Amino acid sequence: DTEVTQTPKHLVMGMTNKKSLKCEQHMGHRAMYWYKQKAKKPPELMFVYSYEKLSINESVPSRFSPECPNSSLLNLHLHALQPEDSALYLCASSHPRAYEQYFGPGTRLTVT
């Protein structure tokens, strides 16, 4: 399996909802990433996990809470989001000391 999968593909949530995004890979990669991509903009790094430990947090608001329960899974828990958080959320993975990142198809999030 050489792909990163993300679920759900689309998510619509209200500002008071709690939801989670899920990312999975079975390539044996020990680094996993969350990016946010607004329309017609490049991906922006949010979080990096290395060997299941959070190694980079790019000053992301606490309403986004990442979790890496094991080496294959990465979650992003969402709570009390704002409409401006609507975006495509991308997950990626890589070997910790390799430079090539493999991206998932993304979850398109709409906050109403």
Partner 1 sequence: AQRVTQPEKLLSVFKGAPVELKCNYSYSGSPELFWYVQYSRQRLQLLLRHISRESIKGFTADLNKGETSFHLKKPFAQEEDSAMYYCALNGQGAQKLVFGQGTRLTINP
Q: Which residues bind to partner 1, rule: CB under 8 A?
A: 31, 33, 40-45, 48, 50, 55-56, 90, 94-106
- Pairwise CA distance, residues 4 & 9, whole Å: 13
Structure tokens at 47: 């979080």
To partner 1, the closest distance from the beta carbon of 70 in angstroms equals 19
Nearer to partner 1, 55 or 110 (CB): 55
CB of 74 to partner 1, least distance (A): 14
Which residue, 28 or 98, has its beta carbon nearer to partner 1? 98
Cα-flanking dihedrals φ and ψ of residue 83, to 5°?
-55, -30
Least Cβ distance, residue 81 to partner 1 (angstroms): 23
Which of helix, strand or coil describes residue 85? helix
Q: Which is nearer to partner 1, 41 or 77 (CB)?
A: 41
- Smallest gap from residue 42 Cβ to partner 1 (A): 4
Would you say 74 or 90 has its CB closer to partner 1?
90
Residue-wise over 81-91: b if at least 16 C-beta within 10 A, else e?
beeebbbbbbb
Q: Are 92 and 39 in contact (CB under 8 A)?
A: no
